[in-house]
Structure 1
Amino acid sequence: MEKIILKKYLPTQSHNYFNGRLEGKDTRTSLQLDIKDKNKEEITFYINKGLVGMNVSFFLGLFSKTILEYGVEDFKKRYVFEYEDENTKKLFEKDMEYGIKAVLREITPKNLLERLRGNN
């Protein structure tokens, strides 16, 4: 299982918060998550203490494609989050759950037809 140290994808070492949809998309591209998703690779995202959270925009840029394409259960099964300490875990878990809910609320061409048909 690949282990990704997420703080490496902050804009500078002085930042402690992940922010911005474009930055999330850039990180997704750098990590080649589209390829890893297609290959059903399992990934551990390591989150160091001192980091305080992830804005929903960054979450959407980084993870929405995976969740929309493969579902929440697949996302939770293959994408494991490991935290350096309990305080960091508490901060990030709320952001992660909020991010998942935001993804599921998003309107995409794929789910718009399903919503219009009343399947959602």
Structure 2
Amino acid sequence: MEKLIYLKKYLPTSNHNYFNGRPEGKDTRISLQLDIKDEKKEKLTFFVNKGLVGMNVSFFLGLFSKTILKCGLEDFKNRYIFEYEDEDTKKLFEKDIEYGIKAALRETNPENLLDKLRGNINNDRNN
């Protein structure tokens, strides 16, 4: 069963229109229980409302890098779907998401360091 997630709900206030900050991304990840959803291989659709203007790479990394590094880029792209209220919003967010994916694939942290050293992480840098 696919779950629809309205990203706007995870802004700090209704006056904000931009997602910012790694701690805020991590908090959103915890609220959404993405670790559990990743274990269950659940498919999620993230809906981006008109009027939202973007997502800072730090927020993206806090929210999604763990999934990309643990499950691989192909799994992330297959299970985490982004839908947009309009084309302008889509244009704004697609660039931020692609940049975030590239940053996640370059990221080294205590959780993935050994896997990277062993060459076990599916980087798919060309996707």
Provide the TM-score with structure 2 as the length reference: 0.88
Partner amino acid for 1:109?
Answer: P
How far has the Cα of 1:110 moved from its partner? 5.0
Partner of 1:7: 8
Equivalenced residue count is 120
Task: Give the distance between the partners of 2:58 and 2:101, measured in 1 at CA.
Answer: 11
Identity %: 77
Q: How large is the RMSD of aligned CA atoms in angstroms?
A: 1.6
Deviation of 1:113 after TM superposition, in Å, equals: 3.7
- Tell me what 1:104 maps to: 105
Runs of at least 5 residues in structure 1 that lack an aligned partner in the other structure? none
Superposition pairs for residues 52-67 of structure 1, below 5 Å?
52-67=53-68
In structure 2, the partner of 1:48 is 49
Q: CA deviation at 1:17?
A: 0.1
TM-score norm. by structure 1 comes to 0.93
User: Alpha-carbon deviation of 1:114?
Assistant: 5.0
Return the offset for 1:106.
0.6
Q: Paired residue for 1:85?
A: 86
Greater fraction helix:
1
